[in-house]
Amino acid sequence: MIQCTAVALLPPPDYIAEQATPERPANTAHVSCELGEHDDDHAQLLWMEDERGGAVWARWNANSTRIEFLPWCGGYHPDRDEACGLFATHPAGHSFEVVDPVREALRDLLSGASPHVFLSDDRPPLLPGRDDPDGP
Ligand SMILES: [Zn+2]
Ligand SMILES: [Zn+2]
């Protein structure tokens, strides 16, 4: 399942906007949807609140944007030992079923150019000298 490509701009919070000047404007932030292709509101995780059993998400559609806390999805992929990183009642597939084609293209490009930094698809690149037992 291909990842949704929706992007939206969020205005800065009021306490930041109040400090803006023409010489020092408050920047907007962008959010990009993390869901698989879907029909309803888009979503990007803003920050996790595991003590509450979920996370705060930006949700938006063509008419409005909102910030809301949502509990975690209970989806789990036993073969990959991976929990779904989306919220309960999310549309489309679980996060482990969603493929970001840009991220996959970058992975393919970088793994061909720098295969020594990729151990496998399941591990992040090594930080030379920190995590690499063969490093300096
Ligand atoms: Zn979306
Ligand atoms: Zn899920």
How far does the centroid of ligand 1 lie from the alpha carbon of residue 41, in Å? Answer: 6
Residue 17: its pLDDT value, please?
A: 80
| Ligand in closest contact with the CA of 36 | 1
pLDDT digits (tens, 9 = 90+) for 34-82: 999 999 999 999 999 999 999 999 999 999 999 999 999 999 999 999 9
How far does the centroid of ligand 2 lie from the alpha carbon of residue 113, in Å? Answer: 33
pLDDT digits (tens, 9 = 90+) for 99-133: 988 888 888 888 777 776 665 555 444 445 545 45
CA distance 90 to 72: 9
**Where do the structural domains in the chain lie, given as residue ranges?**
7-94, 100-136
| Ligand in closest contact with the CA of 96 | 2
| Ligand in closest contact with the CA of 4 | 1
Q: Please write down the long-range contacts of 117-126, taking CB distance under 8 Å and 24 or more positions apart.
A: 122/80
